[in-house]
Amino acid sequence: MRPNSSLPSGISERIRPVHVFGLGVAYLCLAWFISYLGDVHNVLALTDRLINRGAERPFMWYYLFTEGSPTEMLQWAYLAATVILCGVLIGRLGERGYRLPAQFFVLMAAGTGIMLMEDAGNLRHRVKFYIRLTFGDTMALGIAVELVIYALLGALMVYALVRFWRYPWRHRETRHYMIAGYSLYAVAAIASATRHFGDWYDHAGEWLLRAWGLWEPFTALFIPTDVGRPIGFYIMDFLIEESIELLAASALCAAVYAYLREFSRNPGIAVLDREE
């Protein structure tokens, strides 16, 4: 039984996990819509304004989804909020002596914190640079380094799920968001680590642009100078990959919030049946 239907300690009844996740979805819908209006239809002369200001990549999607863009900043905010929510849960679980579920959220907080540092600081790119500088600048080595780094970064969270899965799994809403968050991050990590294998990001992005009927107009305006990758690469690396990562971060945050919200109502979810 639930001892109290209200949520204590300032947790709002009005803010539900679907709202936490929905904020990320709403932002992506808005960002994609703005990109569609500006880059496809040149609404308010957005594309012309970028061209007149000397932009070599005069697209709204490029600047909304590039590194350090509003999309990445929102993702960082979600990851930081997840760490904070985990901290609150750790304290509340510890107060009641629920040691095992608390350990899950300790590992969750540590893994999410590392993900935040990696995403904000591009740690894997720095490590890859020095390793390739030392052992040779080969494509295979770069892919291997990124795969190893992603595996190490995800190890804490994967271990947490394997070791303590029964605790978050007991609450259906937490379980659904956690499955979504883990799955989406796995897709983004594998795709990012292998993006240079056969230059499949280039080809996939080109295929998408051709399918959307935007290949010719977009390539006519796109000038790759510093990195030298074709436009298809950036469609995948920015528009697609960053969208997936934001959905993943918002799902993880919603999962932790869902568990905190339910635990505040019903502390019994932190106890397995065999422990009762």
User: What local confidence, expressed as pLDDT, does residue 144 receive?
Assistant: 72
Average pLDDT over residues 253-266: 93
Both tokens of 182, joined, read: 């883990």
User: What local confidence, expressed as pLDDT, does residue 138 receive?
Assistant: 64
Residue 197 has pLDDT above 90, yes or no: no
Is the residue at 21 inside a domain? no
Is the residue at 180 inside a domain? yes
Is the residue at 22 inside a domain? no
Cα 237 to the center of its chain, rounded Å: 13
Q: From CA 20, how far away is CA 251, in angstroms rounded?
A: 8
Q: From CA 5, how far away is CA 159, in angstroms rounded?
A: 33
Confidence class for position 47, pLDDT limits 50, 70, 90: confident
Is the residue at 165 inside a domain? yes
- The larger pLDDT score, comparing residue 22 to residue 266, is at 22
The residue segments making up the domain with residue 248 are: 78-270
Average pLDDT, the chain: 85
User: 66-79, pLDDT tens digit by residue?
Assistant: 988 999 999 999 99
Both tokens of 72, joined, read: 């990445």
* Total structural domains within the chain: 1
Q: What is the pTM of this model?
A: 0.86
User: 11-46, pLDDT tens digit by residue?
Assistant: 667 889 999 999 999 999 999 999 999 999 989 888
Is the residue at 29 inside a domain? no
Is the residue at 70 inside a domain? no
The CA distances from residue 40 to 12, 61, 196, 222, in Å, are 41, 11, 28, 14
Is the residue at 275 inside a domain? no
| Helix orientation angle between 241-265 and 70-95, rounded to the nearest 10 degrees | 20
Cα 154 to the center of its chain, rounded Å: 13
User: 122-160, pLDDT tens digit by residue?
Assistant: 766 667 667 766 676 666 666 677 777 777 777 888 888
Nearest Cα neighbor of 259 from 170, 178, 174 is: 174
Is the residue at 236 inside a domain? yes
